[in-house]
Amino acid sequence: MFRTFLWGLITANFDQYNLLGGLVLSVIIPVGNYRNLKLKAILPAIIKLFIVPIQMLKETIELMLIRDPEDIDATEDKDENARKGSKLATFIDVLVITATPMSLVTGIQDEQTWKTHTLRERGEQQ
């Protein structure tokens, strides 16, 4: 029920069909075992989550200023804990990249980097 409630908060929609979809997702997504999580592995991920709203605002303004957008396939380095196999760090890493309006994780390049899709002004160098 807690996951379904969070789904309603995230989508800001508590109608019956949305909650039913949230309930289905809650059943599909497995419950993890977090007993072995270490604080030193979680702390950097939590700090990244606090930076996301600032990054979202910054990229939203940048996106509004782009007059001639160009799609770019790029790569971004994975978080150190994500490289070590931490599922939480991987989730937070993908969330931080994808939550911003100009970038989207499209896959895994290799064990060190993510494949991403982003926008920039046409003709601008990276």
pTM of this structure:
0.62
Cα–chain center distance at 3:
18
Per-residue pLDDT tens for 86-121?
A: 777 888 888 888 888 888 888 888 888 999 998 888
Task: List the domain boundaries for the chain.
Answer: 1-31, 36-121
For residue 38, CA distances in Å to 34, 86, 95 come to 9, 11, 20
Nearest-angstrom CA–CA distance, 46 and 60: 22
How are beta strands 69-77 and 113-121 bridged, if at all?
Answer: antiparallel
- Give the pLDDT confidence score for residue 115 in this predicted structure: 93
Nearest-angstrom CA–CA distance, 37 and 14: 32
Over residues 63-84, mean pLDDT: 87
Summary mean pLDDT of the chain: 82
Q: How confident is the model at residue 123 (pLDDT cuts 50, 70, 90)?
A: confident
Q: Decide if pLDDT at 43 tops 90.
A: no
